[in-house]
């Protein structure tokens, strides 16, 4: 199991740290920092974080920023660890530049969570909160789908026809998936019963051979 580290990039002005990026990597911290320096000089890298460095943190043609290791985490929990520190720094008034391709949705969620009154002292608390949010969202989605399918909506209904059709398709997919799961379970049960029957036949045969050998004095 590889350990990832969560890190932050920051600058210092008048002895005050200003964090502007949170990331993670399995590479050595010094190597990851070198990659950031290279990316700043590579004008094809147009992510917000590098634009910010080029426009605000260049001193004598040298990009001036530092790196801080926030924590080390196992490879099964880096998302929660990264989100934990994103939320923590946003609440601390730091403007993060993490809006790159692939991260936008997660960071937007972190920003939303940061605006709530929830208190997270540990990564585990954040993980539990996110699980509850996901469960609540799923429950709302399920309730809406069931409500749409249960009613006879007219053309003037506030629920679009395409949405009703989509819910019908989702319902059909769910039914089909459940049917396939039942079929798989039945096949597994049949195979298990067949293996058990084969074993019992083999066991009976061995007992018969043993009894025959004992009666004939072979053993």
Residue 195: phi and psi, rounded to 5, are: -65, -40
Nearest to 53 by CA among 14, 26, 88, 19: 19
Strand order in the sheet with 3-13: 16-25, 3-13, 66-74
Query: In this predicted structure, what is the pLDDT of residue 9?
Result: 94
Query: In this predicted structure, what is the pLDDT of residue 69?
Result: 93
Nearest to 73 by CA among 24, 19, 129, 130: 24
Rg (CA), the chain: 30
pTM recorded for the entire structure = 0.58
CA atoms within 13 A on the CB side of 59: 6
Query: In this predicted structure, what is the pLDDT of residue 35?
Result: 92
Residue 92: phi and psi, rounded to 5, are: -85, 5
The stretches in the chain having pLDDT less than 70 are 1-2, 59-63, 75-76, 99-105, 148-160, 219
Q: What tokens were used for 127? A: 């993980």
Contacts of 110 (CB under 8 A, 6+ apart): 83, 86, 87, 90
CB atoms within 10 A of CB 161: 10
Query: In this predicted structure, what is the pLDDT of residue 219?
Result: 63
Q: What tokens were used for 217? A: 């004095």
Q: For the chain, list the strands marked E by DSSP.
A: 3-13, 16-25, 58-59, 62-63, 66-74
Displacement of CA 112 from its chain's centroid (Å): 17
Query: In this predicted structure, what is the pLDDT of residue 36?
Result: 92
Query: 123, exposed or middle or buried, with CB in 10 Å at 0-12, 13-18, 19+?
Result: buried
Query: In this predicted structure, what is the pLDDT of residue 172?
Result: 79
């Amino acid at each position: 199991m590889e350990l990832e580290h969560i890190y932050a990039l920051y600058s210092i002005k008048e002895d005050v740290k200003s964090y502007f990026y949170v990331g993670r990597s399995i590479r050595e911290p010094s190597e990851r920092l070198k990659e950031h320096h290279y990316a700043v000089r590579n004008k094809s890298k147009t992510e917000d974080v590098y634009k910010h460095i080029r426009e605000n943190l260049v001193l004598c043609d040298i990009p001036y920023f530092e790196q801080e290791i926030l924590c080390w985490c196992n490879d099964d929990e880096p998302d929660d660890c990264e989100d934990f520190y994103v939320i923590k720094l946003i609440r601390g008034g730091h403007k993060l530049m993490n809006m790159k391709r692939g991260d936008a949705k997660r960071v937007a969620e972190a920003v939303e969570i940061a605006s709530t009154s929830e208190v997270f002292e540990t990564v585990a608390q954040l993980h539990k909160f996110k699980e509850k949010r996901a469960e609540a969202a799923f429950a709302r989605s399920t309730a809406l789908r069931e409500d749409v399918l249960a009613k006879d909506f007219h053309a003037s209904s506030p629920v679009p026809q395409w949405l009703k059709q989509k819910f019908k398709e989702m319902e059909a997919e769910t039914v089909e998936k459940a049917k396939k799961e039942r079929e798989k379970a039945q096949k597994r049960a049949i195979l298990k019963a067949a293996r058990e029957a084969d074993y019992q036949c083999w066991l009976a045969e061995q007992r018969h051979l043993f009894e025959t050998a004992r009666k004939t004095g072979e053993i």
